[in-house]
Amino acid sequence: MTMELSRRGFLGSAGTAAVLGAGTALAADPGQTPADSQSVKILGFSCSPRKGKTTAAALRICLDAAKAVDARIEVELIELAGLKVPGEVAAGVELAPGERDDFPGLAPKIAAPEVGGIILGTPVYFGNMSALCKAFLDRWMVFHKEKVLANKVAGVLAVGGGRNGGQELTIRSVQVALMSQQMIVVGDAPPTSHWGGVVWAGNPTVAAGATPDVSRDAEGIATVKNLGRRVAEMALRMHRAV
Ligand SMILES: Cc1cc2nc3c(=O)[nH]c(=O)nc-3n(C[C@H](O)[C@H](O)[C@H](O)COP(=O)(O)O)c2cc1C
């Protein structure tokens, strides 16, 4: 067992402080404000293994809507496509020699105190989140013990190829993991007001082989925009910026 493997195993099973780095402030106190209390950051994670496709497109629209809420909102879209996030590390399983793990590079970004909201976007895979999304959320075990993400606002959007392909079930499944982190889970704001962003990518007018244009799903995009708005509004409130 090499030193590197030992360290990675430790990061995966416990050791919040080690993952986040010494001196990293925790965000569990709702009264704790970012260093620049005027700005609140919202991260969007696209959990499709396909870069720049429908989930990322929907998330971009969602983040743009969040940003439009207030000048103090900053947004960043992070695509997990192409990154290696081995979920089994959360259970203490050590990586094989040379196996890549990109999660330790993401963890401090997620836990950063200026992050007031996180939006997870996932494709629907057989009525549930993608394996990449599940592995990513399993790795959030490092935040769980000390409730590092408590009171950050969370929202979820799901993109399915079917009109009724399991988007809401998928959203619910992701939300359970977020609630376990003591995050403030919100749905889409009025007038749509349901569980989050529900997107149909499989518009039948799309040419064979082309990437569907999610913006054609007007009803779905309304939920996506309203989700971004709701997350932004609540993130501002939780950070006492309003
Ligand atoms: C393994 C697999 C399972 C899928 N299962 C479903 C499903 O249950 N319901 C659905 O509506 N779409 C399903 N789809 C379609 C994807 O959700 C859809 O193509 C989505 O837009 C992909 O997101 P992306 O473009 O960001 O990769 C599935 C796709 C794959 C690859």
- Taking only the tens place, the pLDDT of each residue in 203-227 is 665 566 778 889 999 999 999 999 9
- The answer to whether residue 192 scores a pLDDT higher than 90 is yes
* pLDDT, greater one: 68 or 36: 68
Mean pLDDT comparison of 3-7, 34-38, 153-157, highest-scoring range: 153-157
Residue 28: CB atoms within 10 Å: 17
**So what's the pLDDT on residue 24?**
43
Phi, psi of 160 (to 5 degrees): -125, 155
The answer to whether the beta carbons of residues 27 and 150 sit under 8 Å apart is yes
CA of 207 to the centre of ligand 1 (A): 17
What residues does 45 pair with on adjacent strands?
78, 120
* Residues 6+ positions from 129 with CB-CB distance below 8 Å: 47, 122, 137, 158, 170, 173, 174
Read off the DSSP letter of residue 165: S
Burial letters for 126-165: b for 16+ Cβ neighbours within 10 Å, e otherwise? eebbbebbbbbbbbbbbbbeebbbbbbbbbbbbbbeeeeb
Structure tokens given for 182 = 């003591």
CA of 18 to the centre of ligand 1 (A): 36
For the residues of 84-144, what is the DSSP string, one character each? ---GGGGGTPPPPTT----HHHHHHHHH-TTEEEEEEEEE-BTTB--HHHHHHHHHTHHHH
Atom of ligand 1 nearest to the CA of 199: 21
- The answer to whether residue 33 scores a pLDDT higher than 60 is no
Weakest mean pLDDT among 9-18, 58-67, 120-129, 229-238: 9-18
- The answer to whether residue 232 scores a pLDDT higher than 50 is yes
- Taking only the tens place, the pLDDT of each residue in 42-88 is 999 999 999 999 999 999 999 999 999 999 999 999 999 999 999 99
Residue 67: CB atoms within 10 Å: 16
Question: How wide is the angle at C-alpha 28 spanned by C-alphas 67 and 113, nearest 5°?
Answer: 45
Using CB distances shorter than 6 Å, the residues near ligand 1 are: 48, 50, 53-55, 123-127, 159-162, 165-166, 201
Structure tokens given for 3 = 């030193």
**So what's the pLDDT on residue 210?**
77
